[in-house]
Amino acid sequence: MTENQIQSNPVNWAVGGIFATAFVFSTAAPAADQQEPPPPSSYAPVVEEESFASTKARMEAAKPEIMARQKKLLDQRYDLSDRPAKNVTMTKGKPIQAGVRIKLPNGVTWQQLASMSPEKIRDQGLFPAGFLPLPHPNHAEGGMVFPQFHIDEIKKQEGEVLRNLTRFDLELDLPDHLLPEFPPPMFLTTRPDLGDVSKGQLVTTQNYYELFNGTLTPKQLDGVRLLVTPAPQQQFNLTADRRSARPSLGVTCFDCHANGHTNAATHLDPQTRPQESRRRLDIPTLRGVNIQRLFGSQRSLRSIEDFTEFEQRGAYFDGDNVIATKKGVNILERGSEVANMAEFQSILDFPPAPKLDIIGKLDPAKASQPEMAGQELFFGKGKCGSCHQPPFYTDNMMHDLQTERFYKTQMINGKKASGDGPIKTFPLRGIKDSPPYLHDGRLLTLDDTVEFFNVVVGTKLTEAEKKDLVAFLRTL
Ligand code: HEC
Ligand code: HEC
């Protein structure tokens, strides 16, 4: 099967450039080969030109090859093995993965790489492949893809007739040991005395009331209700243009932001066209959104209310309001529904960081020597503190890291890698709980992020200094 056949999908996108060729499908309409390719368009096709059964059979058949292609890419970039770090876990106890997982190009060391100019790295093709943008498991197709453990838990709690989040064409590409713990604990700014208010459960329609009645205000309680209530979405809806075997009631906010945190599901950004230029997105945690001022890695929406409304009207349908109308967009009422959802999100706290004092720096009485040394590097030689400012380790701004200085524009499995533009400084409080890292999840461990920033910021840290910096990041 050729690349174009893998990508071809009559009920999907024709968004221009390379995409127009992918849209000339072969299996469904052989005669299309002779036709002129359709002109570029920002819209997804509204009329289905193939039956659901035929689309499903065709895409199911293509799935093994698509997943194998992605697995090959991941193996080229990363060491995906299960190597837990000693003496440190996520908040509830899942091991943190240790070590640098990005594979180096042949013949260079990390030290050599960090001492080269960006031009030299670019011209000699030495930027490690894992530092490049990560494509979606099937970039040309895109859409929401959930981890298996989340799919299984929803099936168990809500039944699989109307809420099976399995896609017949795709699955998540990263192995579970590289993802956040599940279900993650949930902490409230209003009730720090309670600790984990989820009591070890995934909060859903089936248990939210029992868990929170008496702890939340009626408005916040209604907010949680709406955050766990499904709404139609591009891949999960009641029409034939979907990627679930059965018609689906849709997706809830907490299907991605599980327990107000993240389960590392994936998606494509809704704000870019054509398809090849869209970014893969790793799901950000909602812990600590109360102290943030910009929402979305690039959208820069200014309030939680705006982002909540935008998610269901915009992001759920890839920013296409035409297809949203067809599939049943859930219009939230601003004064009550949006406000209540935002009120609840605004009390989602960061997890405890017992070694930090009230200004967000390490308490020397509690921290180890390497952790203290790491803090010194973070604010000194490593320059991390110029963007990640305590107490929450964000400056609430966006920065352009200009990674395109280090590589030539290239296509990676249907994703055009050409620099990311300005991205929000994600807070580093609680960061050990939220692998993988960066907006698209291209980095797997905190060790990887240190190597990345060492090259990108040009800080020339020694091996020992990098270890200390990792030790510090794990305390946040
Ligand atoms: C695909 C799974 C998915 C679902 C379902 C989802 N989100 Fe998100 N959410 C994301 C992604 C991805 C981002 C980051 C977007 C970006 O970087 O532009 C995000 C960002 C956010 C942010 C901003 C966080 C920040 O740190 O900037 C908020 C707030 C948010 N979502 C709320 C919601 C609400 C409310 C819902 C339900 C209406 C929802 N999300 C449903 C994936 C999801
Ligand atoms: C010029 C500002 C700047 C500097 C300096 C900087 N960062 Fe960042 N950091 C960012 C931005 C912007 C992002 C988001 C980038 C993205 O998602 O593509 C980020 C993301 C991260 C993340 C991942 C966050 C997440 O939620 O996935 C980690 C970890 C991190 N930085 C650590 C560091 C360390 C360690 C240093 C110092 C060696 C450092 N940063 C220096 C701006 C900066």
pLDDT in the model for residue 33: 59
**Minimal CA–CA distance to 392: which of 293, 248, 303?**
293
**220 CB contacts (<8 Å, ≥6 apart)?**
212, 340, 343, 344, 347
Nearest ligand for residue 330 CA: 1
Whether 313 and 197 share a structural domain: yes
Full domain range(s) for residue 103? 81-132+355-473
Asked, for residue 467, whether it belongs to a domain, the answer is: yes
**8 confidence band (pLDDT: 50, 70, 90):** very low
Please give the average per-residue pLDDT across 443-457, as a whole number: 98
DSSP structural state of residue 272: -
Whether residue 255 sits in one domain with residue 329: yes
Ligand 1 mean position to 430 CA, how many Å? 18
The answer to whether 417 and 407 have CB atoms below 8 angstroms apart is yes
Nearest to 121 by CA among 104, 134, 101, 135: 104
* 263 found inside a domain: yes
Give the mean model confidence (pLDDT) for residues 369-381: 98
DSSP for 197-256? TTTTS---TTTHHHHHBTTB-HHHHHHHHHHTS-B--SSSSSSSS-SSSS----B-GGGT
Same domain assignment for residues 28 and 127 = no
- Ligand 2 neighbourhood includes 381 CB (under 6 angstroms): no
pLDDT at 24: 32
Residue 185 lies in a domain: yes
Of 326, 345, 364, the position where a domain reaches its end is 345
Nearest CA to ligand 1 atom 13: 283
Indicate which residue's Cα is closest to atom 9 of ligand 2: 425
Question: What's the rounded mean pLDDT across residues 118-126?
Answer: 96
Residue 293 located in a structural domain: yes
Q: What pLDDT does 40 receive? A: 85
Q: What is the 3-state secondary structure (H, E, C) of 409-444?
A: CEEECCEEECCCCCEECCCCCCHHHCCCECCCCCEC
Do 39 and 111 have their domain in common? no
Residue 142 falls inside a structural domain: no
Q: Is the pLDDT of residue 141 over 70?
A: yes
Mean pLDDT of 82-103: 97
Total domain count, the chain: 3
- Together in a domain, 168 and 315: yes
Q: Which of 47, 70, 93 represents a domain boundary (last residue)? A: 70
137 found inside a domain: no
- Residue 434 near ligand 2, beta carbon < 6 Å: yes
Residue nearest ligand 2's atom 34 by CA: 384
In DSSP terms, which residues pair with 356 in a beta bridge? 362
CATH number assigned to the domain comprising residue 467: 1.10.760.10
Taking only the tens place, the pLDDT of each residue in 15-62 is 333 333 333 333 344 455 578 888 888 888 999 999 999 999 999 999
Considering the domain architecture, whether residues 299 and 184 belong to the same structural domain is answered as yes
Joined together, the tokens standing for residue 46 give 């509204």
Helix (H) or strand (E) segment spanning residue 89: strand 84-89
Q: Which atom of ligand 1 is nearest to the CA of 297?
A: 17
Q: How far is the CA of 257 from the centre of ligand 2 (A)?
A: 21
CA distance 166 to 147: 9
- In a shared domain, residues 327 and 369: no
pTM for the structure as a whole: 0.93
The residue nearest atom 33 of ligand 2, judged by CA position, is 384
Sequence-distant (6+) residues with CB within 8 A of 411 are 18, 276, 417
Ligand 2 atom at minimal distance to the Cα of residue 420: 18
Spatial distance between the Cα atoms of 19 and 15, rounded to a whole number of angstroms: 6
Q: Is the CB of 453 under 6 A from ligand 2?
A: yes
Same domain, 193 and 320: yes
389 lines ligand 2 (CB under 6 A): no
What is the enclosing helix (H) or strand (E) of 284?
none
pLDDT of residue 300: 85
Q: How far is residue 246's CA from residue 65's CA, in Å, rounded to a whole number?
A: 23
Give a yes or no: residue 206 inside a domain: yes
Q: Is the pLDDT of residue 424 over 70?
A: yes
Nearest CA to ligand 2 atom 6: 384
Q: In ligand 1, which atom is closest to the CA atom of 255?
A: 5
Same domain assignment for residues 11 and 39:
yes
**Which of 290, 301, 296 has its CA nearest to residue 342?**
290
pLDDT value at residue 41: 86
Report CA-CA distances (Å) from 450 to 17, 170, 431, 453. 36, 31, 13, 5
What does pLDDT average to over the chain?
92
Q: Could you say which of 51, 70, 89 is where a domain stops?
A: 70
The average pLDDT across 244-271 equals 97
Q: What percentage of the chain carries pLDDT values higher than 70?
A: 93
Residue 76 lies in a domain: no
313-367 pLDDT tens trace: 889 999 999 999 999 999 999 999 999 999 999 999 999 999 999 999 999 999 9
Does one domain contain both 408 and 452? yes
Could you give the 3-state DSSP secondary structure of residue 59? helix
The CA distances from residue 474 to 61, 266, 294, in Å, are 43, 24, 25
User: Is the same domain home to 66 and 33?
Assistant: yes
What integer pLDDT is reported at residue 356 of this predicted model? 98
Strand, helix or coil for residue 390: coil
Amino acid 17: pLDDT: 34
> 136, 179, 256, 350: which to mutate for ligand 1, most atoms within 8 A of CB?
256
* Whether residue 286 sits in one domain with residue 152: yes
Q: How far is CA 187 from CA 48, 294, 381, 432, in A?
A: 45, 22, 34, 16
